Amino acid sequence: MSAAEEISRAEIRRRLGDPSLTIVDVLPAASYAEGHLPGAIGLPVEEVTARASLVLPDRDAEIAVYCGGPTCPRAEHAASLLRELGYSKVRHYHGGIAEWTQAGEPLEGSKARGIVPGLSPRPLSVLAREAGQRSEQSSVWQRWTASLVDLVGRWSTTRLFGVWLAMVVLSGCIYWFASLLGFSWLTEAGAPVGSGLRGLGTAIYFSFVTTSSVGYGDVLPVGPARIIAVFEAVAGLLIFGAVVAKFVSRRQEELVLQIHRTTLEDRLNRVQTNLHLCLSDFLAIASICDGSSTPSERIAARLDSATLVFVGELSTIHDLLYEPQRMPDDRVLAAILANLASSLRTLRDLLGCLPPGFSYSPVLGDTLKRVSFLSEEICSDCVPRAYAPALADWMDRIREAARLIG
């Protein structure tokens, strides 16, 4: 790739927000969500052929593609595909996310550090147009309500209960203070509630039943107290609903976490079991390859079946590595990677001992390409999370074996 077809970190940094440059992240969607360059659009390399015309309608626009780091093959592959589709100004940011973050540059995403003040990830004209649309569609009341709901959602159950209790006491004091000033805002059995300590207790009692129910009928509000009682009842119901929602949400999170843990354990057990079966199949096929009388058709049929199962499990491992929030324990992952590396080496040896004149079927050819592609992306500087040195070493071994297969 010539220097004109590459783009540096400094140039990308300088041109953030420039509408003439489109930055494209070709990592999987999960990695894009974790963190990507400011303003970059997500277009996984697997979807370039199908979605490029929708995501990148201008084939003469300047495009910068990147992936995980200098050794990640996705960006170079995506650049080649885009050029084949007729995009004339495709440039490759070779350093990728690894160089970008090492230089202390900002990222966008769920675990990003935020955008440097003054930098806009999208053209200012687009931001202005979107801001105008939002202002037309939402009123002051809607924004206030959304802020209030967001604030209450962040409060703990203890704080919500404290706010509810403070509202009960404060409203009761307001009713009682009115009686001190000579106003009869509350009546009990048709008589005004007094201003003494008994009156204070009655006022707090009325406030309590107002926020927790519709009232018992023995104490009634009069005049302006009715308005306060209505707001108090509504606020009490909202707070009570928020508390109930938090209890339900917490229980749901526990159930979802338990289901996820069980599902993940089953998934990992299935992966390890199938990897062992694939390794056994590869060894068995290698043993029958030594027999000169074994028909090539028989070998091809077994090899097609074994590699199809193998690429399915390889795809599962690839997805796990590119979704760090769902990662298993390091010891489990180490065992999986070790089995995967062993299976790849055995597959490599098996392909090298096939009988002379053995021809790959279309299924086997496509499957081996997929094996090579997925395995090359399992490397220590490709996946979005940093791993222990032992795990990184296994990943690099897997990638090396994949290169020998390809």
DSSP string, 285-343: HHHHHT-TTS-HHHHHHHHHHHHHHHHHHHHHHHHHHT-GGG---HHHHHHHHHHHHHH
Instruction: At 362, list the tokens.
Output: 């279309």
Which CATH number is 22's domain given?
3.40.250.10
Whole-structure pTM value: 0.44
Tell me what the pLDDT averaged over the chain comes to. Answer: 79
Residue 118 pLDDT exceeds 50: no
DSSP 8-state code for residue 59? T
* Closest listed residue to residue 68, CA positions, set 55, 82, 78: 78
Same domain, 123 and 155: no
pLDDT at position 227 is: 87
In which band, very low, low, confident or very high, does the pLDDT at 56 lie, cut at 50, 70 and 90?
A: very high
Phi, psi of 316 (to 5 degrees): -65, -45
The more confidently predicted of residues 247 and 11 is 11
Same domain, 268 and 392: yes
Are the C-beta atoms of 342 and 357 separated by less than 8 Å? no
Cα–Cα separations (whole angstroms), residue 29 to 37, 43, 44:
14, 8, 7
What DSSP element (H or E) covers 66? strand 62-66
Same domain, 199 and 332: no
Same domain, 379 and 267: yes
The more confidently predicted of residues 112 and 23 is 23
Are the C-beta atoms of 344 and 398 separated by less than 8 Å? yes
26-41, pLDDT tens digit by residue?
A: 998 888 888 899 999 9
- Count up the domains in the chain and report the number: 3
32, part of any domain: yes
In which band, very low, low, confident or very high, does the pLDDT at 125 lie, cut at 50, 70 and 90?
A: very low
Which CATH number is 400's domain given?
1.20.58
Same domain, 217 and 278: no
The more confidently predicted of residues 148 and 364 is 364
- Percent of the chain scored above 70 by pLDDT? 77
238, part of any domain: no
279-334, pLDDT tens digit by residue?
A: 888 888 888 776 556 677 778 888 888 888 888 888 888 877 776 555 667 778 88
Range of the domain at 320: 251-405
pLDDT at position 4 is: 52
The more confidently predicted of residues 320 and 170 is 170
